[in-house]
Structure 1
Amino acid sequence: MPPNSYEPYDLIAMGRIGVDLYPLRAGVPLARVETFGRFLGGSAANVAVAAARLGRRTALVTRTGNDPFGDYLHQQLREFGVDDRWVTGVADLPTPVTFCEIFPPDDFPLYFYRRPKAPDLELRTEELDLDAIRAARIFWTTGTGLCEEPSRSTTLAALEARGGTHDAGRVTVFDLDWRPMFWGDGDPGRARPYYAEALRRATVAVGNLDECEVATGEREPHAAARALLDAGAELAVVKQGPKGVLAMDRAGTTAEVPPVPVEVLNGLGAGDAFGGALCHGLLAGRDLEHTMRYANAAGAIVASRLACSSAMPRPAEVEQVLAGGPVPAQEPAA
């Protein structure tokens, strides 16, 4: 399709994708698991799926291996309604696979198979459709994209291309997404200068307390939010797990929202569901507190389910939870 022959996307996400293999029984260590479910995974991919489930027009920029797992991911993205035109193959690298163990309510060890290198870290600036990235109503990228070249320079170039989107009513989200195993020795000091560069180019920063500490050196929620704003963001969203979420914008508006009570089955996709719902709320122009409550509800729904991508809620499910109804347990069909 020729450049600029499409309407701007509600959301373009750029970053990690892979195949998640989850045990079909909770409380069983991997050494004893006999059956797994296969799902599309990766934080950026999941955020795109979550927003698509809420009715948004989304696309993903990433890379896979030229292998059957890569074919599977293309198929899944299309079934979820995510445009995969910018998901390209890398000839000599396998599509990543991630295993997890499920020990509710709060222990979900992850085992990443991303060697010798993940294809999504082979994103190159010259291959980006910068016109589409500039035009998107929301552009979402992550800290993982900064961990290696050429993805690091490509991520920063995409963020740079979004310059001036503040005045155009568009949003640039930097998901702090700290994964120490992707940074060699896992030293936060190596990551912090690159995080600072990304924050200077972002309008929204999102992260949990550990990630905020990596990015800013601050762990106390209000201090972390202020540090993110000082670093360049116009809105800081600090996820606090069982203590809920804090959001603070540069105009001085603050929203502190408690979590939705839920029986957790697998908490791994909750943050990505939160991210997709955050985008939905920002696009809808909802006030800060409502947006946080909506995002919290979406995250709680996914935490109660086994999968990540296929567990992303639809609008009626989120509204049910917001109205005080039960968290829907049934995963919707893809």
Structure 2
Amino acid sequence: MAESAQPLDLITMGRTGVDLYPSNAGVPLARVDELGRFSDGAAAGVAVAAARLGRSAAVVTRTEDLDFFAIRAARVFWFTGSGLSGEPDRSATLAALKARGRAAVTVFGLDWQPTLWPQPEGARPYYAEVLRHATVAVGTPDDCALAMGVREPRACAQELLAAGAELAVVAPGDGDVLAVHRDGTSAVLPGGAGEAFGGRLVHGLLSGWELERTIRYAADTGGAPDGEDR
């Protein structure tokens, strides 16, 4: 991205992929007529979800020759824990965070993927290191158990804040979403998790909404607060 270009609303960096799903479910593979392609991976999914809400978004899919200007200029930079599991992704993620310098909104999606960590205890130092660069931390209780050593949502949120985040969001996917800000503001709301949650969270943060409205919107993938998206 040239320095004169308009900064993006969102740049994500981390796990990406493509899933193939049969068009007709419930039948043997030999009887499947066609396969549909769908984006997968936390980084790709969050970017797609935000783009569907009208936000300009891009995904870093190549770790060589990173566009540090674009990463610094983006209104939100979202990176994931899966990018810390090996090289060259780990060094690229750390370089991007150093270039970013906690500018604007920097979101760490904890994104714990057991298959990527042959020795899970080796992940915690890297998680602790990148939390110092994040202004927002988002994860499930399982993510928190790995990263912070605690599973209970409120205890996890407090640990994430103590580690450097200004806003901690714990979203289990099958229970209440807890969000706690360093200023003492908090919100507990029923809802979901995943990439759609992440994209809607980004939209709320960019919209400048207060915390409860942002979390309500993010957790409710069926609609927007007050009947509006913007």
Q: What TM-score do the two structures reach when normalised by structure 2?
A: 0.91
Residue from 89, 105, 119 that aligns with 1:151: 89
Q: Which runs of 5+ in 1 are unaligned?
A: 64-122, 261-269, 302-317, 325-334
Alpha-carbon shift at residue 258 of structure 1 (Å) = 1.2
Alpha-carbon shift at residue 33 of structure 1 (Å) = 7.0
**What CA distance in whole angstroms lies between the structure 2 residues aligned with 1:32 and 1:246?**
44
1:48 aligns with 2:47: yes
1:223 aligns with 2:155: yes
Alpha-carbon shift at residue 26 of structure 1 (Å) = 4.8
1:13 partner SS: strand
1:9 counterpart residue number: 8
| Counterparts in 2 of 1:146 and 1:250: CA distance versus 1, 3 Å | same
2:194 partner SS: helix
Q: For residue 297 of structure 1, what is the amino acid of its counterpart?
A: D
Q: What TM-score do the two structures reach when normalised by structure 1?
A: 0.64
Checking the alignment, whether the CA contact within 8 Å between 2:102 and 2:134 is kept in structure 1 is no
Q: Which runs of 5+ in 2 are unaligned?
A: none
1:273 partner SS: helix
Alpha-carbon shift at residue 23 of structure 1 (Å) = 3.2
2:162 partner SS: helix
Alpha-carbon shift at residue 162 of structure 1 (Å) = 1.7
Alpha-carbon shift at residue 244 of structure 1 (Å) = 2.0
Residue from 157, 167, 171 that aligns with 2:105: 171
Runs of 4+ off more than 3 Å:
23-28, 30-33
1:89 counterpart residue number: none
**What CA distance in whole angstroms lies between the structure 2 residues aligned with 1:224 and 1:255?**
15
Q: For residue 147 of structure 1, what is the amino acid of its counterpart?
A: S
**What CA distance in whole angstroms lies between the structure 2 residues aligned with 1:228 and 1:27?**
42
Checking the alignment, whether the CA contact within 8 Å between 1:140 and 1:173 is kept in structure 2 is yes
| Counterparts in 2 of 1:32 and 1:240: CA distance versus 1, 3 Å | farther
Q: How many percent identity over aligned positions?
A: 60
| Counterparts in 2 of 1:208 and 1:234: CA distance versus 1, 3 Å | same
1:213 aligns with 2:112: no
**What CA distance in whole angstroms lies between the structure 2 residues aligned with 1:18 and 1:57?**
20
Q: How does 1:59-208 map to 2 (within 5 A)?
A: 59-63=58-62, 123-124=63-64, 127-165=65-103, 170-183=104-117, 185=118, 187-208=119-140
Alpha-carbon shift at residue 151 of structure 1 (Å) = 0.5
Alpha-carbon shift at residue 27 of structure 1 (Å) = 5.6
| Counterparts in 2 of 1:32 and 1:218: CA distance versus 1, 3 Å | farther
1:249 aligns with 2:187: no
Alpha-carbon shift at residue 271 of structure 1 (Å) = 0.7
**What CA distance in whole angstroms lies between the structure 2 residues aligned with 1:53 and 1:129?**
24
**What CA distance in whole angstroms lies between the structure 1 residues aligned with 2:180 and 2:146?**
19
| Counterparts in 2 of 1:164 and 1:209: CA distance versus 1, 3 Å | closer
Q: How does 1:254-333 map to 2 (within 5 A)?
A: 254-259=186-191, 271-298=194-221, 301=222, 318-319=223-224, 322=225
Instruction: Note the alpha carbon deviations across 1:91-139, whole angstroms, 9 max, x for none.
Output: xxxxxxxxxxxxxxxxxxxxxxxxxxxxxxxx13xx1111111111100
